[in-house]
Amino acid sequence: MSSPRFRTSRVPPLVLSLGALLGQAAPAAAGGQTPQAGPPAEAARPVFVDGQAQVVPAFEDPASWIRHDLWVETEFDSDGDGRPDRVHVDVTRPGQTDDGGLRVPVIYETSPYYSGTGSPSQQFFWDIRQEVGDAPPRRNPMPSITHQSRRPTISSSHVGQWVPRGFAVVHSQSPGTGLSQGCPTVGGDNESLAPKAVIDWLNGRARAFTAPEGGEEVEAYWSTGRVGMTGTSYNGTLPIAAATTGVEGLEAIIPIAPNTSYYHYYRSNGLVRSPGGWPGEDIDVLYDFINSGDPARRAYCAETVRDGEMAAGQDRVTGDYNEFWSGRDYLNDVDGVRAATLMAHAFNDWNVMPEHSYRIYEALARRGVPAQIYYHQGGHGGPPPLELMNRWFTRYLHGVENGVEQDPRAWIVREGAEPSEPTPYPDYPHPEARPVRLHPQAGGAGIGLLSTASPSGRQGTEELVDDVALDGAALAAAATSVNRLLYATAELARPVHVSGTPRVTVRLAADRPAANLSVWLVSLPWSDGAPITDNLITRGWADPQNHSSLTEGRPLVPGELYDVAFDLQPDDQIIPAGQRIGLMIFSSDRDFTLWPEPGTELTIDLDGTFLELPVVGGAAELARPVG
Ligand SMILES: [Ca+2]
Ligand SMILES: [Ca+2]
């Protein structure tokens, strides 16, 4: 099953129909600023076909565009100099906005990355070789970023895509980066209020100037005031940050692989846990990584932010949730969001994990804010198809009633399908998914059985010994191991469609007060040499000390059993017939957790341990006998 819309829209006739339409509109198209002969520029206007803004020849020539930069005055003073911080902004807009009286909506991206970033070398990250629950070793600060003056063009992203379609494109540099004043705060309030100020300016409610100090005032007379924001990763976080302010004029956002909570980025269920590919990264490392602003401000910013509130709040000892992290979790501010939100993420994004988009999508959908979600099966980043984005921005920025509100709410790229051909779902998770409880049976040092039927009789306890030298793939591939426990279903008689957020409950005891806990869901048999994503279904991590509270972990009493229940990362995947679904329980996850010395012993009580797997069609799909 695939979307008819995406099939038809890839067909050349779209271009032909556009040509035909432009032919009809020819007397009103093209302009004096373009090489083509034709009527005056002032007649050129955005053109829509099939509910999407089209490339208009009169808007296509970059030589006809107007580019300039300016500084918008914000409502905060984060660098402590007693004056409102000004943020650096660039604008690219069709020439007709000056010569033809045209007013256009705006596609806007803001980022802390436009003026260079710090070293990605791990020697400036936290050293993850430490015992769980201990104070971390001291971190080497990252070398300073060389300050760049980059104007008037901050970035050319989105310009080629949207200016020819009748939009202006605006960029701004996050506070404390590049030529923007203020301090970098990595999720602080000024990162939400800075784009709010830019949107206020685009609506005539804030002032802008030609210089960072003083300067002539600049007005956005060419703007309709309707703004859409997009961007990937950190640049996808900031549209959500802006939207939480409820600023008028921010009509639509398309966050791509956004981080929606710094706690969920750097911690997992009470545990210190690195983003995949960035071992030892933490919020203060990201501060150093984006700290490209005026060197004269850096001492004040380091003292108040990195060595101030971050040092006091980030807590790499317990990993618990606290007020510092709560203030950097956009779900806590989601009530303010009114912008129509098209989320995009990937189920194999192990850097910014797939829960980040789902938690916001779910909250917005529940509140009745227009929201859709697009998931593909790849890794970090990857926008929705242009058609989907175009319909979204056309509806909410140009106000064209294209019926996008009646579209399916969820778009899931099936395994092996092109990212441009998602399968429409009425919602995500698939509405027919039901939680199926699966129970482990003794034998996890090899592969014990995992079944929907409660085993008859007690299964008792089984043990594993932590060894961070072995990664999760090696542990899952091993026929037997003392370093993990693995339980798998019988071979599937038919494909099983998992859709949603699996949840595990692990009843465990440890031989010491603190331990890592990692859980992977895998598809077996393991294919050696294949990409890990061929066999990895999803995974999750938790701190057993947080078994009853995310904010107040308690040291474990060695030998005492605790029920640790937590969500794995959301997923949507079809496990082929003939495979077995495996639940692997282990301690340190080499690619994500801290690296304690090997030897921690975990005892798992199988009678209190189970998996709840969201399966489309429910338990019947798993309970069928083999063959
Ligand atoms: Ca200031
Ligand atoms: Ca903890």
Closest by Cα among 65, 70, 69, 57 to 28: 57
Q: Look at residue 475 and give its three-state secondary structure.
A: helix
Residue with tokens 């784009």: 195
Q: Which of 9, 223, 233, 274 is catalytic?
A: 233
Going by their DSSP bridges, the two strands 371-376 and 340-346 should be labelled as parallel
- What pLDDT score was predicted for residue 152? 81
- What pLDDT score was predicted for residue 621? 81
Judged by its nearest atom, the ligand closest to the C-alpha of residue 270 is 2
| Calpha distance 120→320 (Å, rounded) | 26
CA angle, 397 as apex, 393 and 399 as ends, to 5°? 105
Q: Which of 13-17, 78-82, 377-381 has the lowest mean pLDDT?
A: 13-17
CA angle, 439 as apex, 433 and 443 as ends, to 5°? 140
- What pLDDT score was predicted for residue 624? 57
Task: Please answer whether residues 240 and 82 qualify as being in contact, where contact means their C-beta atoms are separated by less than 8 angstroms.
Answer: no
The yes-or-no answer on residue 380 being catalytic is yes
pLDDT bucket at 83, cuts 50 / 70 / 90: very high
pLDDT digits (tens, 9 = 90+) for 477-490: 999 999 999 999 99
The yes-or-no answer on residue 430 being catalytic is no
- What pLDDT score was predicted for residue 625? 52
| Calpha distance 584→607 (Å, rounded) | 16
- What pLDDT score was predicted for residue 120? 94
Could you tell me which residues are beta bridge partners of residue 562? Answer: 508
Q: Is pLDDT above 50 for 73? A: yes
Q: Rounded to 5, what percent of the chain is helix, strand, coil?
A: 25, 25, 50
Task: Please answer whether residues 212 and 181 qualify as being in contact, where contact means their C-beta atoms are separated by less than 8 angstroms.
Answer: yes
Question: What is the 575 CA–ligand 1 centroid distance (Å)?
Answer: 55
Question: What is the 297 CA–ligand 1 centroid distance (Å)?
Answer: 9
- What pLDDT score was predicted for residue 193? 98
Structure tokens at 341: 């939100």
Closest by Cα among 514, 565, 517, 520 to 541: 517
Q: Which of 1-10, 225-234, 467-476 has the lowest mean pLDDT?
A: 1-10
| Calpha distance 259→240 (Å, rounded) | 9
The structure's pTM equals: 0.92
Structure tokens at 455: 């085993």
Q: Is pLDDT above 70 for 460? A: yes
Structure tokens at 163: 């200016």
Question: What is the 67 CA–ligand 2 centroid distance (Å)?
Answer: 50
Q: Look at residue 25 and give its three-state secondary structure.
A: coil
What are the Cα distances from residue 605, in Å, to 440, 442, 478, 507, 602?
A: 10, 10, 22, 5, 10
| Calpha distance 196→612 (Å, rounded) | 41
Task: Please answer whether residues 247 and 197 qualify as being in contact, where contact means their C-beta atoms are separated by less than 8 angstroms.
Answer: no
| Calpha distance 139→143 (Å, rounded) | 12
| Calpha distance 171→114 (Å, rounded) | 9
Question: What is the 54 CA–ligand 1 centroid distance (Å)?
Answer: 42
Judged by its nearest atom, the ligand closest to the C-alpha of residue 267 is 2
pLDDT digits (tens, 9 = 90+) for 250-296: 999 999 999 999 999 999 999 999 999 999 999 999 999 999 999 99
pLDDT bucket at 25, cuts 50 / 70 / 90: very low
- What pLDDT score was predicted for residue 100? 83
The yes-or-no answer on residue 567 being catalytic is no
Question: What is the 293 CA–ligand 1 centroid distance (Å)?
Answer: 13
Q: Look at residue 435 and give its three-state secondary structure.
A: strand
Q: What percent of the chain has pLDDT over 70?
A: 92
Q: Is pLDDT above 50 for 10? A: no
Stretch 121-133: mean pLDDT? 97
Q: Is pLDDT above 80 for 2? A: no
